[in-house]
Structure 1
Amino acid sequence: MNVCFPDTQDDTPRIPIELNRVGVTGVKKLLRIERINKRPIILLPTFDAFVDLPNDQKGIHMSRSPEAISEVMEDVTKNSALEVETICAEIVNKMMQKHEYAKRVEVHMTSDYMHIRESPATKNKTQEVSKLKAKAIGYREDGQIKIQKMIGAEVIGMTVCPCAQESVKEADKSKLLEFLDEQTTEKVLNTVTFASHNQRGIGTLLIEVPENEVIKAEDIMSIVEKAMSSPVYELLKRPDENAVVMNAHEKPVFVEDCVRNMMEGILENFYHLPDDTVITAKQINEESIHRHNAYAEKNTTMKELKEELNIKSDD
């Protein structure tokens, strides 16, 4: 006997209010990405998927969102050369078909990304983890589905406070002048590395991927990491620890500097991208001498970024 269950999602809500984002979070899948002449990358990504909901509909058909993710991921196993941002775009397209009432669909993907690197002094190989991020937003326009794709990364590094370092330097200068002349004191100040307080920095950078363009996540990770005072490492011997600390204190940066450094890295690596390419960067520095954290963010386009720095776009 077949039972016809009621579809209460299509009922009229008691309170007719439109909702911006309704969906599912924390959907985990296994993903294998093939690479030419390299070992494949195995990821365990987590997906969040949302649609907007009109004011005359009680609820979305919730099961259709993880269903769309599953169907796309099944297709990916047959074509594992797809970039992660394209996978998100395919999910958006599938959700648009299943949620015909939705004007806007948004899909986020985050996954741990393992990579091998060498420690700075002993050159020991160590496994490091960053966060690979991808995003796709789809919307209906004139009967067509338009989809924006973004690729990005979240990287942990180390920052050194410039303000505290200058304070320490001035305090030490006063002490040195008690028994050294001005010229010798300056030589000492220019030779030694001065202490400061440190932060664990968490940098995030997302950039839109235009059609027919390929942006490597590894390049974005490199930009974020270089924006801070120093990389951090899972495995460090004493010579490595010394190298990390010394190198970091030679490059003190504020949280604001980190975001500006990311913007500079974007221009150096992706200057050729279209003017309307969207860029989002943020930095969180987890303070060591304060109970609060420091935060900075920048949302811009390639055109706006070039205009701010008085850089002429190519014709």
Structure 2
Amino acid sequence: MTHMTQGRNSIKDVQNSCDERGIAIQKVGVSDVHLPFLIKTKSGSFQTVLAKIKLTVDLPEEFKGTHMSRFIEILSDWSQKPVLYRDMEYMLTDTIDRLQAKRAHIDINFKYFIEKTAPVSGLKSMLDYDCVFSGELARGEHLDFTFGITVPFTSLCPCSKEISQYGAHNQRGIMRAKIKQQLGKFVWIEDLAEMMEQQGSCQVYPLLKREDEKYVTEKAYENPKFVEDVLRDLVLMLRKVDGIQWFEVECENYESIHNHSAYAAHVESVDK
């Protein structure tokens, strides 16, 4: 036996000692872990993203602590493999096995980039979307998976358009959606983003020429919506998406003539 092995074996493992306070911990692990991750795309390839991750397991009342280093080992291994719904189930199964736990949970927050085409000039550019994959798995059960995305949009105030002799004030807004789908169902990030963008007065584009700016300005003017309108149209759209069991949506307009935002939210279980 080498000197290094002897030294490692002689180090006291405090976290494996017994705790007598009788309190089980539902979630213990690591948070704010930043790693490059590979996210599967609709095209069949993958996109490298910078992910901020929280990975936890349950801890029985008799154990003093968990093995924190193992979480980093797991995430480092999985950061090299493209991740989607089914892959998260394998990842959490791996976590449960390595940590000898009954339940594991993960949140992967990341920016995802989708190519956008300007409406008139046809110029292409990349727009970033804040996304989160959340998964919870109990030993011997199926993955409980939630997907969230934040989508920017333009809205134009119907009241301003109605009462003004010319013009109407508009604002940039964001809509957030979290969805939970039936086992075996999955909606791609690209598809959900596109469906959500249709619910505002107009889409947001990173790159616009003069002819594009004219188009989006007039399109928003022809399609005025309150924040409540955007939210309700978003709800109606999500009700039609195949396999959704539950969703939570929020809309927020960053008002251009007020020093506050307009906000609306809705949560719904879908019975299909």
Q: Does TM-score exceed 0.5, indicating one fold?
A: yes
Q: Given that residues 109 and 135 in structure 1 are in contact (C-alpha distance below 8 angstroms), is that contact kept between their aligned partners in structure 2? A: yes
The answer on 1:112 being equivalent to 2:111 is: yes
- Secondary structure at the aligned position of 2:119 is classed as coil
Question: Which residue identity does 1:41 align to in structure 2?
Answer: F
Secondary structure at the counterpart of residue 113 of structure 1? strand
Q: Which position in structure 2 is the counterpart of 1:154?
A: 150
Q: Given residue 106 of structure 1, which amino acid in structure 2 is its aligned partner?
A: H
Q: CA deviation at 1:20?
A: 4.1
DSSP 3-state at the match of 1:44: strand
Alpha-carbon separation, structure 1, partners of 2:199 and 2:13: 52
Tell me if 1:249 matches 2:248.
no
Q: How far apart are residue 195 of structure 1 and its match? A: 0.7
Taking structure 1 as reference, are residues 99 and 261 closer, same or farther at Cα in structure 2, changes over 3 Å only? farther
Alignment of 1:89-100 (within 5 A): 89-100=89-100
Alignment-derived partner of residue 255 in structure 2: 287
Q: 8 Å contact 2:115–2:124 — kept in the other structure?
A: yes
Query: In the alignment, does 2:239 pair up with 1:240?
Result: no
Task: Find the residue that maps to 1:97 and give its secondary structure.
Answer: helix
**Where in structure 1 are there 5+ consecutive unaligned residues?**
173-192, 304-312
In structure 2, relative to structure 1, the CA distance for the partners of 1:92 and 1:217 (3 Å cut) is: same
Please tell me the residue identity of whatever aligns with 2:66.
I
In the TM superposition, what whole-angstrom CA distance separates every residue of 1:249-289 from its partner, at most 9, and x where no partner exists?
2223233333322221123332xx27xx2223222333333
Residue of structure 1 equivalent to 2:168: 195
Give the 3 Å change call, closer, same or farther, for CA 63–235 of structure 1 in structure 2.
same
- CA distance in 2 between partners of 1:217 and 1:64 (Å): 30
Structure 2 partner of 1:175: none
Seq. identity, %: 25
Q: Which structure is larger by alpha-carbon Rg, 1 or 2?
A: 1
Kindly report which structure 2 residues correspond to 1:140-151, keeping only aligned pairs within 5 A, or say none.
140=139, 144-151=140-147
Cα–Cα, structure 1 residues 258 and 63, in superposed 2: closer, same or farther, change >3 Å?
farther
* Structure 1 residue 145, shift from structure 2 partner: 3.3
Matched, 1:59 2:56: no
Deviations 1:38-59 (A, max 9, x none): 7x33221413222344444443
Q: Secondary structure at the match of 2:234?
A: helix
Q: C-alpha distance in 2, partners of 1:54/1:284? A: 41
Does the CA contact (< 8 Å) of 1:133 and 1:154 recur in 2?
no
Give how far 1:224 is off.
1.8
Give, in whole Å, the separation in 2 of the partners of 1:234 and 1:221.
Answer: 15
The normalised TM-score by structure 1 is: 0.72
**Contact 1:135-1:151 at 8 Å conserved across structures:** yes
Deviations 1:50-106 (A, max 9, x none): 2344444443322222222223344x3xxx5xx5222322222122122324x4322
1:219 aligns with 2:191: yes
Contact 2:246 2:270 (C-alpha < 8 Å) held by counterparts: yes
CA–CA distance in structure 2, aligned partners of residues 229 and 33 of structure 1: 30
- Offset of residue 221 of structure 1: 0.6
Q: State the alpha-carbon separation in 1 of the partners of residues 158 and 59 from structure 2.
A: 48
**Pairing 1:1-315 to 2, within 5 Å after superposition:** 1=3, 2-3=6-7, 4-11=10-17, 17-24=23-30, 25-31=32-38, 33=40, 40-46=45-51, 47-74=53-80, 76=81, 80=82, 84-101=84-101, 103-140=102-139, 144-166=140-162, 168-169=163-164, 172=165, 194-198=167-171, 200-270=172-242, 273=243, 277-303=245-271, 313=272
How far did residue 19 of structure 1 move?
Answer: 4.2
What are the ranges of 5 or more consecutive residues in structure 2 without an aligned counterpart? none
- Scaled by the length of structure 2, the TM-score of the pair is 0.82
On the 8 A contact 1:162/1:196 being kept in 2, the answer is no
Residues 11 and 230 of structure 1, relative CA distance in 2, 3 Å threshold: farther
Distance verdict in 2 for CA 1:10–1:302, change over 3 Å: same
Change (3 A) 1:292 1:7: farther
SS at 1:284 equivalent:
strand
Alpha-carbon distance in structure 1 between the residues aligned to 2:25 and 2:156: 43
Rounded to whole Å, the distance in 2 between the matches of 1:54 and 1:249 is: 59
- Aligned residue identity for 1:139: A
